[in-house]
Structure 1
């Protein structure tokens, strides 16, 4: 009897520490209701110091910077119709969206896009930011990020000291930086073609997915022809199975970074800024674009310079590992602040009431594998007394 109980505990340990594979849907941002569960920033870029003014929802709608096109896809764009005059402070209108829901360990996020903004001075990003504390105390995950005419996406984690990408990880991308507490974060460059820019659009777009699990953070990119069947055939009520997706583009296993320690509840952020501290840095800008970032792009007419500075999104879907409960909506609005900033984008404009309300199984799964092993060993020892 004792050996049977011990075996059952060991089996439970293995199942808890294994990466979750089956995910059930929580929310879909799509179609005419796409913008309903987002907060519009409505402030200037006060953290990455881009030359933009983010519009509130009323202005974004009236200026046609956000709308649903004839195909039912969400368009989020930089202003390309205004002639911006030279001035001491130069800004062009753009959009930054922050999700009202939060997502933590046990979550899966999928974005299906047909077009990602690109062009000289353009800096698009889709990322998550931990809420409730100053950056980066509860982490940041950069899922999509590019600048200017850069052709390949890069992803990153940002954290406090102690979180690293483990060496020898299995991933298809190329590790650029392994320390997640540097200003740039622990970066992995995408090696698959058509992950950004004109190539992404010409290939019909694609899918990005990020999995946050006790076993680690894993990020995939699939160009349109390579999207797995369970994503391709999914509907808002169907589950997906990450075990069928193959090797991820980036892998940050818990052996190098205890995800439950360094990452708290995360909000989704979708944003496009211009120039700023990365795209506009002269040495970086000159790698793919001529002239001066502000003078040769933001000043003057918006077209044709910003005709490709738009997102076209079929949907963003969020999931939880089977057995977890849906997250609460963020409820407390805070003013924009440069003291709570992310490296890839900017600060959160809302604060959350918390992460998912876990079931008892979710609480069990939230214990790091190393600690759970110690618990099992202790319980097993007591059983043998």
Structure 2
């Protein structure tokens, strides 16, 4: 079963309340509908007539659901975004390169770096952020974004260095504190991570990502009641926060509360039917739970196959779950086959656990952790 899904953002932003969708006049035939756009202004407001529902961070990517003149409806946030504070996602690098050719400014390099980051061209993103910082050394946003790029490249110490430099310029930025906490988590510096998250939540108590990430820290400390409380609070502010649902499910499993664990994963799957993580985790519980009232071997097998299809039968964790589901159905030959495949794909630190599962299958016993 997967666990500990942390949540982070790319650039500087603030939080965050939601309001209901308004009913404006819209153009349903506009070719912009369905296209991705990238935010080019930190703090770009997504609005309804009643309120600002979100402040976009630099480089945030959205899909346009409806249009009304220069206003773009972003369904996932429930607000209107001004088109002039965005550029088309697919053309972002080209358009920003043209701006740089006309005027080499720190802002233009920063924006193109964000575009490279959004397109997962990490080395080019770092080069542009570095050039932006040469031109504008006290740019906390560029430092944060270069840190985020290092984080995505798993260069966690470099990420911490950039986040720390950003905080030296903007000491009370909750997003940078949250991002540095993520890097500390990866470095297994749990106390520093917790300190950063506590500080971020003092600044913005209604910060779903920081609440989720503090819950992850509590999980690592095996403080599952505290973790569940944080995931629940995150979901209060963002009811569609799938990471928090999946993480809370994991904590419920650790407390042998399988019914609530299943309920959270069912909710996650409804929100995102294409999530292999939720399907895989639910299949694992249904196949291996010691609570007979929760087990459902036939559905476990269907969900495990779904998770494997979504990962093209190349993810060791989903293959392990598939084997467990076959074993739960008494199909030990198939279970043996998929466990052997899982062992080939698995990282070294997981092979011992998988070998235990294989030994159970060879003895024609169901798999349980």
Classify the TM-score, shorter chain: under 0.3
User: Whose relative contact order is higher, 1 or 2, with alpha carbons under 8 Å and at least 6 apart?
Assistant: 1
Higher helix content, 1 or 2 = 2
With structure 2 as the length reference, what TM-score do the two structures score? 0.21
With structure 1 as the length reference, what TM-score do the two structures score? 0.20
Higher strand content, 1 or 2 = 1
- Name which one, 1 or 2, has greater alpha-carbon Rg: 2
